[in-house]
Structure 1
Amino acid sequence: MPILTQEMKDMIATQQCFVGTVNADGTPNVAPKRSTRVLSDDSLIFTEGTGGATYANIKRGSKVSISIVNREILDGYRFVGNASLQESGELFEQAAAMSAQLGRPKPFAVVIIHITEIHSLKPGPSAGKKIA
């Protein structure tokens, strides 16, 4: 099981994450998810507020890829995993409260990504290579 390093956690906390899923017709879907954050050493979470393609794809069982890059230091990661939706419960209520504080509507769900692979997005020979 891949484990997030502190460097990865710090990057997730400070940089924009992009979530990739697969549409029903096989085409890729990529969406920025500003709410992406670390849930545990081996999982990420984001608030699904739009109910769009990413949400539909995950409901259908699409695997998920989350990419993050820090252009200032030329480093980044891609996290691949399986997603689970929570449309109620403690994590959902926490996300709903956070959305309300920001003046946003109640989310559709929270999405938990159980990381199965981590890849480097650092330029050079390690680009795209599985590191965990």
Structure 2
Amino acid sequence: MSRASGVLTDAVRQAASRSVLCWLATVDAQGQPNVSPKEVWAIADDRHVVVANIASPVTVRNIAQQPQVCLSFVDVLVQKGFKLTGTARELLPSDADYAGWAASLLAMTGDRIPLRSVLLITVQGVQPIVAPSYWLFPQTTTEAAQIEAARRTYGLGD
């Protein structure tokens, strides 16, 4: 697990760019977990991830009570990704630093999807996510083989 500044390396950025969704896990004051898929999100710099709050009242409430979060994403074809842990806070459009953090998200949504707020995650730890096939069958499991198998399984063309 990485703990230094600059935890969001090029490898993490590349994997994120190939991942359509991420999953943001939070916990409430009583310890009840919640996981919510997020479609509009971006790596903002080498220590921060921004996530659009479009319709996530439970996530926002949980972050206000317990700021610790876990965000995971996986390239479904390659079956590799990353788990990011850290703390989050909500930025409202009225906050002075909102526009800077929201810029990349607004570039994705335009006027099509309204943002209620931005969830700013300060990443403290990064761990790889790798399908078990890679370590169970290292001689025969390659990214190319995983992509081919996933395409067959999901009925995807070339």
Structure 2 length-normalised TM: 0.68
What runs of 5+ residues in structure 1 fail to find an aligned partner? 127-132
**Conservation of the 8 A alpha-carbon contact between 1:91 and 1:110:** no
Richer in helix (by share): 2
Counting only pairs closer than 5 Å after superposition, residues 1-132 of structure 1 correspond to structure 2 as 1-2=4-5, 3-15=7-19, 16-88=21-93, 89-91=98-100, 94=103, 97-98=106-107, 101-105=110-114, 107-124=115-132
**Conservation of the 8 A alpha-carbon contact between 2:87 and 2:122:** yes
SS in 2 for 1:103: coil
What is the number of equivalent residue pairs in this alignment? 125
- The Cα offsets for residues 35-86 of structure 1, whole Å up to 9 and x where unpaired, read as 1101101111111111411111112233110011112212111000011221
Shift of 1:99: 7.5
What runs of 5+ residues in structure 2 fail to find an aligned partner? 136-158
**Conservation of the 8 A alpha-carbon contact between 2:53 and 2:119:** yes
SS in 2 for 1:116: strand
Query: What CA distance in whole angstroms lies between the structure 1 residues aligned with 2:124 and 2:80?
Result: 20
Indicate the structure (1 or 2) with the bigger Cα radius of gyration. Answer: 2
Could you say what the CA RMSD is over the residues aligned between the two structures, in angstroms?
2.4
| Percent of aligned pairs sharing the same letter | 20
